[in-house]
């Protein structure tokens, strides 16, 4: 079997982190968790995850800032970043894209859609 793909999840809500963790692990991914943008950058470090899933509303460093910081490193140019957003936050979706997000996952959280979205960005 090939090495499992690694996903970095960044969310300040434990509930959401747990939900992501259980769904992703169940689907055969390795998961690295971070609880806000700053923590996300630390956890990313020199890692080369296959994708990042990040929340937007977070303390310390929000999702926009986090994505911009990740993208600022040329090495992460082709790293897919999915943002967790809600249907009512269209403007945030756009802002996340401007920051460099590859795609998004609409809350309420749906495991099937999450895995679909990962596949769509090649992770």
Partner 1 sequence: MTRDSRYPTLSADAMASIRAVFFEECEENLSALETGLLALQEGAEDWEIINTVFRAVHSIKGGASIFSLDALIDFAHLFESALSQVRARELALDGGIIKTLLKAADALTDLVRAARVGQEVDPAVVAPLIDELANLVAVVAEDDDGFGDLAFTPVPVTLDSLEGPGSSTGLTLHFRPAAELYAKANDPVLLLQELERLGAMEVTLDRSALPMLGDLQADESYLAWTIVHSVGDADAVREVFEFVQGDCQLEIIGETKPLLPQAEIAPAAATPVEAPVASNSQAAANPGQTIRVDLERVDRMIDLVSELVINQSILIQRMAAEPLSNRAEVNAVLEDLDKLTREIQDSVMAIRAQPVKAVFQRMSRLVREVEAMTGKSVQLVTEGDATEVDRTVIERLSDPLTHMIRNAIDHGIESKEQRLAVGKLAQGTVRIAASHRGGRIVIEVSDDGAGINRERVRAIAVERGVITADANPSSEEIDNLIFAAGFSTSEAVTDLSGRGVGMDVVRSSVQALGGRISVTSVEGRGSTFTLSLPLTLAVMDGMLVSVGGHSLVAPLTTLIESFQVNAADVRRLGPSSAILTIRGAPVPLLDLASVMGFASDQTESGRRVALLVEDDAGGRAALLVDEILGQQQVVIKSLEANYRNVPGVAAATILGDGRVALILDVSGILALQRRTFATPGPQTQAA
Residues 20, 40 contacting (CB under 8 angstroms): no
What does the block give as tokens for 121?
């960005």
Minimal distance, residue 23 CB to partner 1, in Å: 6
Residues 39, 11 contacting (CB under 8 angstroms): no
CA dist 44 and 32 (Å) reads 9
18 touches partner 1 by CB under 8 A: yes
CA dist 49 and 95 (Å) reads 23
- Residue 12: count of CB within 10 angstroms of its CB: 17
Query: What DSSP assignment string belongs to 80-118?
Result: -EEEEEETT-HHHHHHHHHHT--EEEEESP-HHHHHHHH
Subset of residues 80 to 119 that bind partner 1, contact rule: CB under 8 A:
80-81, 86, 88, 90-91, 94-95, 97-98, 100-104, 107-112, 119
Residue of 16, 30, 43, 68 interacting with partner 1 (CB under 8 A): 16
Residue of 27, 30, 43, 68 interacting with partner 1 (CB under 8 A): 27
122 touches partner 1 by CB under 8 A: yes
47 touches partner 1 by CB under 8 A: no
CB closer to partner 1 out of 32 and 71: 71
Binding-site ranges for partner 1 (CB under 8 A): 12-16, 18-19, 22-23, 26-27, 37-38, 57-62, 65, 71, 77-81, 86, 88, 90-91, 94-95, 97-98, 100-104, 107-112, 119-122
């Amino acid at each position: 079997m090939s090495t499992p793909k690694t996903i970095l999840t960044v969310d300040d809500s434990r509930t959401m982190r747990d939900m992501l963790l259980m769904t992703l692990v169940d689907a055969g991914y390795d998961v690295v968790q971070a609880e806000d943008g700053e923590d996300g950058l630390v956890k990313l470090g020199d890692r080369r995850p296959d994708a990042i899933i990040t929340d937007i509303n977070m303390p310390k460093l929000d999702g926009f800032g986090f994505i911009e910081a990740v993208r600022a490193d040329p090495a992460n140019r082709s790293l897919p970043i999915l943002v967790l957003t809600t249907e009512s936050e269209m403007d945030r979706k756009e802002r996340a894209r401007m920051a460099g997000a590859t795609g998004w996952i609409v809350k309420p959280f749906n495991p099937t859609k999450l895995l679909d979205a990962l596949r769509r960005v090649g992770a």
